[in-house]
């Protein structure tokens, strides 16, 4: 059995990699989780990287828990719906100047 570490769950797991890629975040499995966050932030084309990253990680965590505790099979489509809903629910905490850019970006996903 594979030990579940934060690096595995959020960085090395093929499901996580596809979810990050879907939201325009590219990670490097040769870097630590912290190094990846710093590197990904530099190349993310929008100023709201940390909001996207934190919500993405939260959605990966929720998907993992749904599998472990409820036997719910992970689905990329369901994850995207959950991610978009979480971003919109969190919008009131994000700078209003970024709202239009966030809406436009979400429409491209």
Domain assignment present for residue 1? The answer is no
- The count of structural domains within the chain is 1
Alpha helical stretches, state H, 1-109: 6-7, 14-22, 33-43, 49-70, 76-90, 99-108
| Domain assignment present for 70 | yes
Listed as own residue / partner, the contacts of 62-69 with beta carbons closer than 8 Å and 24 or more positions apart are 63/15, 64/9
pLDDT the model gives residue 2: 60
Is 12 a member of any domain?
Answer: yes
Per the confidence metrics, is the pTM higher than 0.85? yes
Range of the domain at 15: 6-108
Cα 93 from Cα 76, distance rounded (Å):
26
Task: With respect to residue 28, please indicate whether it lies within any of the assigned structural domains.
Answer: yes
Full pLDDT tens readout for the chain, 109 residues? 467 888 888 888 999 999 999 999 999 989 988 999 999 999 999 999 999 999 999 999 999 999 999 999 999 999 999 999 999 999 999 999 999 999 999 999 9
Distance CA 8, CA 96 (A): 34
Rg (the chain; Cα; Å): 14
Residue 57 is predicted with a pLDDT of 96
């Amino acid at each position: 059995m594979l030990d579940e570490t934060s690096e595995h769950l959020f960085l090395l797991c093929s499901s996580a990699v596809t979810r990050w890629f879907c939201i325009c975040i590219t990670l490097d499995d040769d870097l630590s989780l912290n190094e990846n966050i710093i590197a990904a932030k530099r190349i993310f084309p929008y100023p709201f990287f940390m909001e996207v990253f934190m919500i993405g990680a939260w959605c990966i965590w929720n998907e993992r828990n749904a599998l472990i505790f409820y036997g719910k099979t992970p689905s990329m489509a369901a994850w995207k719906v959950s991610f978009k809903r979480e971003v919109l629910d969190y919008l009131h905490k994000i700078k209003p100047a970024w709202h239009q850019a966030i809406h436009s970006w979400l429409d491209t996903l």
